[in-house]
Copies of this chain bind each other. A is one copy, B any other.
Amino acid sequence: MRIGFIGLGHMGNPMVRNLLKHKHTLKVYDVVPDLVRKMVDQGGKAAESIADTAKDVDVVITMLPSSPHVRSVYMGPSGLIASAPPGTLLIDSSTIDPLTAREVEMDTRAKNCPMVDAPVSGGVGGAEAGTLTFMVGGEKADYEAARPILECMGKNIVHCGGPGNGQVAKICNNMMLAIEMIATSEGMTLAAKLGMDPKVFAGIVNTSSGRCWSSDTYNPYPGVLDGVPASRGYSGGFGSDLMLKDLTLVTDAAKSARHPVLLGAIAQQVYQKHSADGNGGKDFSSVILQYMTGSPPTRG
């Protein structure tokens, strides 16, 4: 298949490489020429503009940092909607707010270009290994059309319902994740402060009603699990600033919908403080450091 790809950063780069491995023909574009050059070295063809990326291809995939970027790449005067021939399948893998996703999709549909929103989870590691999860929002037929392409880059390709629902699934899941990570941080540090061995406590929680992914798979307490960021100084993983971005998206979406998300808003604040304290680059499980205060534990 002939695929255009816009956005060649940390995620876009390995995603393109996986598409090339599957023998697809790639036209690539980014505002940073260096990023384009790297992809050309791997076998992609340089596009000269957004409009050019959409010429003579069957599909265009975008991987962009935020809603305004998506809006401008799709809806700008020389953007995809203005340039892509009717019938071109558009796939946006950026994580953005669902309302923007739905607006863009309505415009693409008016131009007879089918579109799906397909944000990912799995991070740079998943992008490189080709094991990303894609949460796809859009018409069933468009989801089916996108699936074989997405399967070149990911392992789970989940249909979440109509347009925008990929974004809804992504940001609502991540809101729960952030809250649960903080809950786990509070539970682990309090148990330790009250005199309990953190590993023993984790063992009990993980077979009980308090268990969650943050406690059994990604525990933030150093030394409880092997091979997680907590056991290597919170390097690697999913950065606190990325989590902060998703929390900002989800609380903004809740504001638009006038829906209360008390713990979500507090999680956003906790990560905002954590970032302001200089921890934005550390894995998001490092939020437990906010709870590791000086005083020694009581006996146990």
Contact = CB atoms under 8 A, between A and B. Distances in A.
B179 A183 contact: yes
Contact of A176 (B168, B187, B193, B268): B187
Interface residues of A, number: 84
Interface in A213-228: 213-215, 217-218
Interface in A124-172: 133, 135, 156, 158, 160-162, 164-165, 168-169, 172
Contacts of A182: 179, 262-263
A196 B179 contact: no
Nearest to A255: B248
Contacts of A98: 194-195
A173 B187 contact: yes
Given A263-B263, A295-B258, A196 B160 contact: yes
Interface of A: 98, 102, 121, 133, 135, 156, 158, 160-162, 164-165, 168-169, 172-177, 179-180, 182-184, 186-187, 189-191, 193-197, 200-201, 204-205, 207-215, 217-218, 248, 250-255, 257-270, 272-273, 275-278, 291, 293-295, 298-300
